[in-house]
């Protein structure tokens, strides 16, 4: 039976310094010497053994081999095609890719100084170090951390209207960032970045604290009835077993009515029914409502709604945009009937025209949110409006 490995006898050359990077190797058995030959001198750089990779750096940055590899003992190697590395590297996070290539550049430079050779820099390497997207992402993450530490992230409140009365019943709290040089940074950009890192957790805690302070200020200014404020909770935050305790702690520390803070989770998280069921039970035990956000985009069946007792469902804006078509109105009408049967409120998101609001009113939808109702506003604007 043919082996997937290649055998090398003691003394065999595996590759030579300056060879093109046609692949790498995984050492299954044996010992391999890594050496260079500069100015007539043979210099041993080290030995590699079983379980180690050989020749991968030249493949990663598409550079000629910077050293020679020779078998010291009989060796068995598994070849890794250069295309495998290229595919993996191309699909890697651009930040990870840039950091990896940066480290390789430093290694090449140190090796050149050690051996007295000339540092080789490939076209691919130069191109990646000029990758403004990756470097910009690293810079933006650092600046976002600084903005969070300085408490420069802002809370904006988007009103949610009770359609029947036309009164504002509550707000959704949204995080915004005004960069000192760039101006307003798109939430889609920095929130996605925060979710890719651990930053989303401290940002979530920061927003929790600020939202509770917003409720305190609304109460102090005599807003009656006290409007609710909805706070989005991410998947990473839900991984934290202490999250609900912190939420309850902030509410109780300010003597706030628990039903005025509404927790929002996206529909895509609902497939983890055990975790979401636990969240609902703990929130309901203290009288805190939970809303299902972006309804209609996350899962392909209604099964989770049989067991998960949400207090509010937020209809995705794509359904509101379809209200000008009979089929769209029929679908929204079915959702309205379903939420009534489940005894939970329905909020239509993305309402931008009077015609959309009127159609929702006729269909029996209770709440509307969108630019027609109001854009996200700072707290002072809400209080003085």
Judge whether residue 354 has pLDDT over 50.
yes
- The DSSP string of 208-219 is HHHHHHHHHHHH
pLDDT score recorded for residue 68: 94
Average pLDDT over residues 268-285: 89
346: nearest Cα among 301, 304, 316:
316
State which fold the 151-384 domain adopts: TIM Barrel (3.20.20)
Task: Please tell me the least confidently modeled range out of 14-23, 24-33, 65-74, 135-144.
Answer: 135-144
- DSSP-H helix ranges across the chain: 56-60, 82-90, 94-115, 123-129, 132-149, 187-196, 200-220, 235-238, 243-253, 273-285, 304-307, 317-321, 326-341, 354-363, 379-384
Buried/exposed code over 14-47 (b: 16+ C-beta within 10 A; e: otherwise): bbebeeebebbbbbbebebbbbbeeeeeeeeeee
Judge whether residue 63 has pLDDT over 90.
no
How far apart, in whole angstroms, are the C-alpha atoms of residue 117 and residue 62? 18
Task: Give the strand order in the sheet containing 32-38.
Answer: 13-15, 68-71, 32-38, 41-48
Average pLDDT over residues 51-74: 87
Each residue of 165-215: pLDDT tens digit? Answer: 999 999 999 999 998 888 999 999 999 989 887 899 999 999 999 999 999
Pairwise pLDDT comparison (363 vs 141), residue with the higher score: 363
Choosing among 2.30.30.90, 3.40.50.970, 1.10.760.10, 2.60.120.10, the CATH entry for 5-93 is 2.60.120.10
Alpha carbon separation from 128 to 18, 132, 163, 315, 367 (Å, rounded)? 22, 9, 53, 42, 49
CB atoms within 10 A of CB 316: 17
Instruction: For the full predicted model, state whether its pTM sits above 0.85.
Output: no
For the ranges 52-56, 120-124, 137-141, 375-379, the maximum mean pLDDT occurs at 375-379
169: nearest Cα among 230, 86, 109, 242:
230
- The torsion angle over the Cα atoms of residues 129, 132, 135 and 140, rounded to 10 degrees, is 180
Tokens representing 12 are 């065999």
Judge whether residue 370 has pLDDT over 90.
yes
How far apart, in whole angstroms, are the C-alpha atoms of residue 316 and residue 349? 6
Q: Where are the domains of the chain?
A: 5-93, 151-384
How far apart, in whole angstroms, are the C-alpha atoms of residue 47 and residue 44? 8
Tokens representing 346 are 């329905």
pLDDT score recorded for residue 8: 96
Task: Please tell me the least confidently modeled range out of 162-176, 216-230, 257-271, 327-341.
Answer: 257-271
Q: Which residues contact 277 (CB under 8 A, 6 or more apart)?
A: 307, 308
């Amino acid at each position: 039976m043919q082996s997937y490995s290649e055998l090398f006898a003691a003394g065999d050359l595996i590759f030579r310094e300056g060879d093109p990077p046609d692949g790498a190797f995984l050492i299954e058995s044996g010992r391999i010497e890594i050496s260079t030959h500069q100015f007539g001198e043979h210099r041993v750089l080290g030995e590699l053994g079983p379980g180690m990779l050989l020749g991968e750096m030249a493949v990663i940055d598409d550079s000629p081999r910077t050293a020679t590899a020779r078998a010291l003992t009989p060796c068995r190697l598994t070849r890794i095609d250069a295309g495998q590395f290229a595919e993996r590297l191309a699909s890697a996070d651009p930040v990870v890719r840039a950091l990896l290539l940066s480290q390789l550049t430093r290694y090449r430079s140190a090796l050149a100084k050690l051996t007295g050779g000339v540092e080789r820099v490939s076209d691919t390497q130069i191109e990646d170090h000029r990758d403004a997207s990756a470097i910009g992402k690293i810079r933006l993450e650092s600046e976002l951390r600084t903005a969070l530490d300085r408490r420069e992230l802002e809370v904006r409140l988007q009103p949610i209207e009770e359609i029947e009365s036309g009164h504002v019943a509550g707000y959704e709290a949204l995080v915004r960032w005004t960069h000192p040089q760039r101006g307003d940074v798109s939430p889609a950009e920095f929130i996605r970045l925060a979710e890719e890192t651990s930053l989303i957790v401290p940002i979530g805690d920061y927003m929790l604290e600020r939202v509770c302070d917003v409720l305190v200020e609304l109460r102090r200014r005599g807003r009656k009835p006290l409007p609710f404020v909805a706070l989005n909770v991410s998947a990473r935050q839900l991984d934290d077993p202490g999250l609900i305790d912190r939420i309850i702690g902030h509410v109780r520390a300010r003597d706030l009515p628990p039903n005025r803070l509404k927790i929002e989770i996206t529909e895509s998280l609902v497939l983890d029914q055990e975790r979401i069921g636990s969240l609902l039970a703990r929130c309901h035990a203290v009288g805190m409502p939970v809303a299902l956000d972006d309804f209609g985009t996350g899962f392909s069946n209604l099964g989770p709604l049989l067991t998960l007792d949400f207090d509010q469902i937020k209809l995705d804006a794509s359904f509101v945009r379809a209200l000008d078509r009979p089929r769209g109105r029929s679908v929204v009408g079915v959702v309205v009937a379903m939420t009534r049967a489940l005894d939970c409120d329905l909020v239509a998101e993305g309402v931008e025209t009077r015609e959309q609001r009127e159609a929702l009113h006729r269909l029996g939808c209770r709440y509307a949110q969108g630019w027609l109702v109001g854009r996200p506003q700072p707290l002072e604007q809400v209080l003085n409006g």
